[in-house]
Amino acid sequence: MENGISSPAPVGVREDVDCECLRGLSSDAAGDQVLVAVCRAAQNGNRLTIWDLPKVIDLDLAEIFAAVRVLEMGKFVHVGDNPADPFGATVELGDGTIQRLRTPRAG
């Protein structure tokens, strides 16, 4: 684990993509911070667990867990299953979120 980031994984976010463009997708600032952190990890070929997120963004575990669940329900992220440790579950961008990153924005 490097810089609080868990296992490497191929996740499909190009390095030239601006993860900041995901801000505003979520219904709150905590969700936006989670999306940007997960996107940046993906650009480096990494996955984050819920345990990892407080190491890279300034939120406590309860706020992060709540934000991740809201993002999961909205299909912005996919949460891997870890029955032994729910906080050890990996968080990855959902397919629709990745597609949004790949689609050029007008303006």
pLDDT interval class at 11 (50, 70, 90): low
Are 30 and 64 in contact by the 8 Å Cβ rule? The answer is yes
Q: What CA–CA distance (Å, rounded) separates 81 from 90?
A: 8
Q: 32-72 pLDDT, tens per residue?
A: 999 999 999 988 888 999 999 999 999 999 999 999 999 99
Domain ranges of the chain: 27-102
Q: What CA–CA distance (Å, rounded) separates 105 from 6?
A: 31
Q: Is the pLDDT of residue 76 over 70?
A: yes
pTM equals: 0.82
Class of the CATH domain delimited by 27-102 = mainly alpha
Task: For residue 76, give every residue at least 6 positions away whose Cβ sits within 8 Å of its Cβ, in sequence order, or none.
Answer: 25, 26, 31, 35, 93, 94, 96, 97
Q: Provide the pairing of β-strand 48-49 with 90-93.
A: antiparallel
